[in-house]
């Protein structure tokens, strides 16, 4: 009888481990597929620029009287800012709250311990971003965390220096979103 019980327990542990591994494998496969879309696609005077994006870090706050902070980054892009005071993704990771909301991009900000300056690289030239905004239109993916595939999709506008003053670049984005806090 104890041999049967031991065999059943061993089978249950093996089955659970295989199931977890399957989820890790599925999550990795989903992440690899989603990551192909993580980029900014910017139109600039008839030229389309695709800039890879690594992720958007969202720094949560326990006190909802403080704004949550974001950093969208990748090779060739850093965009920082904070969500409006009435908008919190929160510890429940409610990314759907972002849908349809216009979020401002600031010249300087992000993690207060390591502030960053917003910039975008076009044709090898690093350009400062003085302001802008993005609007999340949809959410995809199901895996949370830095190794997940949760993806925000939407539109974006960036204000950069031009020959005759500032000019506005418009486009679309998709980025992996990760909360920290």
CA 11, CA 18: separation in Å to the nearest integer?
10
Give the per-residue pLDDT at 4: 46
Q: Are residues 150 and 162 in the same domain?
A: yes
Q: Model confidence over 23-66: pLDDT tens digits? A: 878 777 866 776 678 999 999 889 999 999 999 999 999 998 99
Other beta carbons within 10 angstroms of residue 107's beta carbon come to: 15
Q: Are residues 71 and 160 in the same domain?
A: yes
Q: Are residues 159 and 106 in the same domain?
A: yes
The pLDDT of 128-156, averaged and rounded, is 91
The pLDDT of 138-145, averaged and rounded, is 85
CA 118, CA 114: separation in Å to the nearest integer?
13
Q: Are residues 19 and 75 in the same domain?
A: no
At residue 23, φ and ψ (nearest 5 deg) are -65, -40
Does the structure show a pLDDT above 50 at 13? no
Give the per-residue pLDDT at 22: 56
Give the per-residue pLDDT at 55: 94
Number of separate domains in the chain: 2
Report yes or no: 70 and 81 within 8 Å, Cβ to Cβ. Answer: yes
The domain of 175 spans 37-180
Q: Are residues 111 and 24 in the same domain?
A: no
Rounded-to-5 percentages of helix, strand, coil across the chain: 20, 45, 30
Higher local confidence (pLDDT), 97 or 12 = 97
Reported as half-sphere exposure (CB side, CA atoms, 13 A), residue 110 has a value of: 17
DSSP symbol at 95? G
Q: Are residues 70 and 138 in the same domain?
A: yes
The 3-state DSSP class for residue 89 equals: coil
Q: Are residues 49 and 74 in the same domain?
A: yes
Other beta carbons within 10 angstroms of residue 103's beta carbon come to: 20
CA 156, CA 135: separation in Å to the nearest integer?
7
């Amino acid at each position: 009888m104890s041999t049967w019980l031991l065999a059943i327990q061993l089978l249950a542990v093996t089955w659970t481990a295989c199931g977890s591994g399957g989820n890790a494998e599925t999550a990795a496969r989903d992440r690899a597929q989603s990551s192909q879309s993580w980029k900014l696609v910017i139109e600039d005077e008839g030229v389309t620029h695709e800039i890879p994006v690594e992720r958007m870090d969202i720094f949560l706050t326990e006190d909802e009287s403080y704004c949550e902070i974001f950093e969208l980054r990748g090779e060739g892009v850093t965009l920082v800012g904070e969500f409006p005071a009435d908008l919190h993704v929160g510890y429940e990771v409610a990314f759907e709250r972002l849908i349809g909301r216009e979020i401002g991009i600031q010249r300087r900000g992000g993690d207060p311990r390591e502030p960053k300056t917003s910039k975008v690289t076009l044709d090898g030239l690093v350009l400062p971003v003085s302001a802008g905004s993005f609007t999340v239109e949809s959410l995809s993916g199901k895996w949370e965390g830095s190794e997940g595939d949760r993806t925000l999709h939407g539109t974006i506008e960036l204000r950069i220096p031009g020959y005759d003053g500032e000019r506005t670049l418009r486009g679309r984005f998709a980025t992996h979103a990760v909360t920290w806090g």
